Structure 1
């Protein structure tokens, strides 16, 4: 396989924005990064400004089918939840593959080169096991390979239907598809999944997730965390997304969700706390002390009226920040990054809570989903890059260093993942992604 050299007028390197950058790629890695270098014959010219590939650290891919469908009467959390369960009840491995392929291709168009899939749609209707108990997970692996992005399959332990005054309640209805009975059975199933980190069409890391303290009883929390840590795998959890979760946990355990995780030894630098919206000062300090990740999903958090989390306080306490598109009300990591700052401005009435380079760091936090060798334009890193146009109606006149404050996913021209061109001229290699989405989603609402 011969090497390829890309030339960029501007590129965001670890040292900052540099002019006239040549990036040479061989076998999926950057083998040379030259600054102040004129383009040479044979170089592939990239338009605009080049960024590292973006990392979508939190995805529920089947939620993509809910966009524009949950706002009847203005929309409540319950209308959203009913729609989510209706979609979950219908999907099988074939339709899941079609939906995930299209949604992951939409992510590639939006500059996303790796995704952390918080996967809990495991089994058949009523909880019936497929012949291959990981068939739904394998559909996601195939979908990501087809779409050309790396996948971290965060296989999610989901054991209970909720947490009430008398403790956890059983799974019921569509939730039965999510459960494995107990954490040990979950771990045995996930043991059969394998990483594929180099070579072949699929680039996959297997990680673990605890759905939430509402869905996983206290005695199972450490089982999931231990399984992940024995294999050096990323570990994620929904944490304090809504006040009701905190209230239920306090009533059941006398602890906040973060306090419960601390008591059970779950906190650590491998843990991503997704949402982390409704935290006490003590919760913030605990997450910071353990160098946890806090994964914010601003477009989802505002769509579901969940609130604005303490991003600056978490950063200042020692936590690290990542971003996700979660339910995919919007698939645009540039918008998620910008919203991190804009929500802070609305909440504090102050500008400049995050510098542009801070937003880029959150948007490229591949380490949080198990790809520590990605997210930087530097020698030896995975050859992911994104070219964002500087001549659109949104970006014309923008400082290349501040492009995340003006661009949208529509301004993405080129996306390269592990050295392979996946998007060129704003077009995905699979063709018409809008048609793929339409064909995958429309049948799920045929009776609506």
Structure 2
């Protein structure tokens, strides 16, 4: 057990001062105003760790490789071909090294949990590894090495379009028959612990036929598990869904599946007004990835209408052309400003601060998407007890914080430039980052560099 004292802790209702955090077995045992003075000092500004609700770890290694024009109409679909070519070279040892590098970067940036939407299941030619969970285990081992919390989401991927076409040669390593997929989930769920949660991912409506979707949902394996799905990311996807199923993607899903708070709809970029309202009412999380959505030219999520409807959201770094919760939140707001041509869009009835609104919403939605009790530190309230002890200590020596009153700290964190303002990071009561540096940075970077050189050759 340890007792740590923070000068100021950011809680769901705002900053509280002089807080003692008692941590036992990796969770907050108590959160209370300072007691007898025996606690060790933690820092001046302490905030909960941020969940990253959408990741394709292997794509971190190809960041920067798809930024040359291959077609005057370059889009998500041409980028996808570059991604497939790179994915076809990645084996378990490669994935472990790439994911460790990525997860280390996430921790140093302030992410303490990652939802890994994982579809590189088999050998590049589609053949099976001797261990059907070999690629999943590589991700688990990378998370264990770095200390980040992992929500592993093995992905069901069966068809190449709404018309049921067969997968292409480059997609074969993603494929599972439904029974084999459920067997994989059952195997992986046996290994769950305080930093590993296993859920399910349905790649997309175009990749999972309705009968397979129903079989997974009715299997009993996912009754208490997070469920994630890519949806409505591209207008072509919306058009194809309308042509084949007679409904827009989010409309079809809400009409045909028991969408509730277990679900995360990743991207959900292209919604009509009725879908915005119904998605918000469902309690599902909108999984927004603004830097990737901008990089791919996806479009802009209807944020203001979704917030007005009471919708839940979180953020992810997806393709990892950026690995920073700050940049995701910043560009979530900036995209709205560019469309609306006005400022300070993401505010709420309870807060006129854009930074605090976005940070609080992303903590809440990210925790829901992760299926893990994280994302909040709350004094004297039931949610604190049993929450995993994840926290960030901000760099109070940074000039950006000089003279800042409490009510400006989160806005400064989100909107004051590119210096990393996270000093220390704790996950499940264990320090992963101290003074801005991961405990195993040198070894992880060395293995990553060796892996990338080999893959590039």
**TM-score for the superposition, normalised by structure 1:** 0.91
Provide the rounded CA distance (Å) in 2 between the counterparts of 1:409 and 1:434.
21
CA contact (8 A) 1:57 1:368 kept: no
- The farther-off stretch of 247-256 and 407-416 is 407-416
Change (3 A) 1:435 1:388: farther
SS at match of 1:125: coil
- The C-alpha deviation readout for 1:377-399, integer Å capped at 9, x for no partner, is 13312111001224435444542
Q: 2:184 aligns with which of 184, 189, 192?
A: 189
Q: Deviations over 1:424-443 (max 9, x none)?
A: 00110112354444333332
- Partners of 2:104 and 2:441 within 8 A in 1: no
User: Match of 2:102, SS?
Assistant: helix
- Alignment of 1:14 onto 2:20: no
Q: Please, which of 391, 394, 400 is the counterpart of residue 385 of structure 1?
A: 391
Q: Could you tell me how far 1:9 is from its partner in structure 2?
A: 2.5
2-structure distance, mates of 1:409, 1:273? 31
Counterparts in 2 of 1:314-325, with a 5 A limit? Answer: 314-325=306-317
1:330 maps to 322
Q: Which moved more, 1:83-92 or 1:343-352?
A: 343-352
Question: In 1, are the aligned partners of 2:228 and 2:266 still within 8 Å (CA)?
Answer: yes
2:119 aligned with 1:127: no
Q: Is the 8 A contact 2:42 2:393 kept in 1?
A: no
- Distance change in 2, residues 1:40/1:427 (3 Å): farther
For 1:303, the equivalent position in structure 2 comes to: 295
Distance (Å, rounded) in 2 between the aligned partners of 1:228 and 1:329: 36
Partner of 1:318: helix, strand, or coil? coil
The alpha-carbon deviation at position 224 of structure 1 amounts to: 2.7
Matched, 1:373 2:373: yes
- Distance across 1 between alignment mates of 2:222 and 2:50: 28
Q: Tell me the matched-pair count.
A: 435
Asked whether the 8 Å contact 1:23–1:33 carries over to 2, the reply is yes
Matches within 5 A, 1:36-51: 37=34, 40=37, 43-46=40-43, 48-51=44-47
| Aligned ranges 1:190-339 → 2 under 5 Å | 190-194=185-189, 196-198=191-193, 203-227=195-219, 230-339=222-331
Alignment partner of 1:440 is 2:451:
yes
Q: What is the Cα deviation at residue 277 of structure 1?
A: 0.5
Q: CA deviation at 1:197?
A: 4.9
Shift of 1:353: 2.0
> What's the offset of the Cα at 1:225?
2.9
Q: Distance in 2 between matches of 1:409 and 1:228?
A: 46
What CA distance in whole angstroms lies between the structure 2 residues aligned with 1:236 and 1:226?
16
Residue 39 of structure 1 and its aligned partner are, at CA, apart by 9.4
Question: CA 1:91–1:325 in 2, change beyond 3 Å: closer, same or farther?
Answer: same
For residues 372 and 335 of structure 1, the distance between their equivalents in structure 2, rounded to whole angstroms, comes to 24
C-alpha distance in 2 between matches for 1:161 and 1:9: 54
Question: Quick one: distance in 1 between partners of 2:233 and 2:212?
Answer: 20
**How far apart are residue 253 of structure 1 and its match?**
0.9
Q: Aligned partners of 1:226, 1:314: CA distance in 2, in Å?
A: 30
Partners of 1:263 and 1:173 lie apart in 2 by 33
Query: Which stretch of structure 1 is more off in the superposition, 148-157 or 222-231?
Result: 222-231
Task: Determine if contact 2:225/2:371 at 8 Å carries over to the other structure.
Answer: no
CA distance in 1, matches of 2:109, 2:450: 20
Q: Given the superposition, is the C-alpha separation of residues 10 and 195 from structure 1 closer, same or farther in structure 2, using an over 3 Å criterion?
A: farther
Unaligned runs of 5+ in 1: none
- When residues 184 and 444 of structure 1 are mapped into structure 2, their CA distance, relative to the original with a 3 A threshold, is same
Q: Would the aligned equivalents of 1:209 and 1:224 in 2 still touch at CA under 8 Å? A: no
1:171 matches 2:167: yes
Alpha-carbon separation, structure 1, partners of 2:455 and 2:329: 31
Residue aligning to 2:60: 64
Query: Any conservation in 2 of the 1:334–1:407 contact (CA below 8 Å)?
Result: no
* RMSD value, Cα: 2.2
Q: 3-state SS of the aligned residue for 2:189?
A: coil
Post-superposition shift, 1:237? 0.6
Q: Gaps (5+ residues) in structure 2?
A: 347-353, 379-383
Contact 2:53–2:370 (8 Å) recurs in 1: no
1:414 match: 424
Provide the rounded CA distance (Å) in 1 between the counterparts of 2:258 and 2:157: 16
In structure 1, the partner of 2:433 is 423
**Are the equivalent residues in 2 in contact too, given 1:195–1:204 (CA < 8 A)?**
no
Report the equivalent of 1:400.
409
How far, CA to CA, are the matches of 2:361 and 2:234 in structure 1? 23
Identify the range of structure 1 (15-24 vs 374-383) with the bigger mean alpha-carbon deviation: 15-24
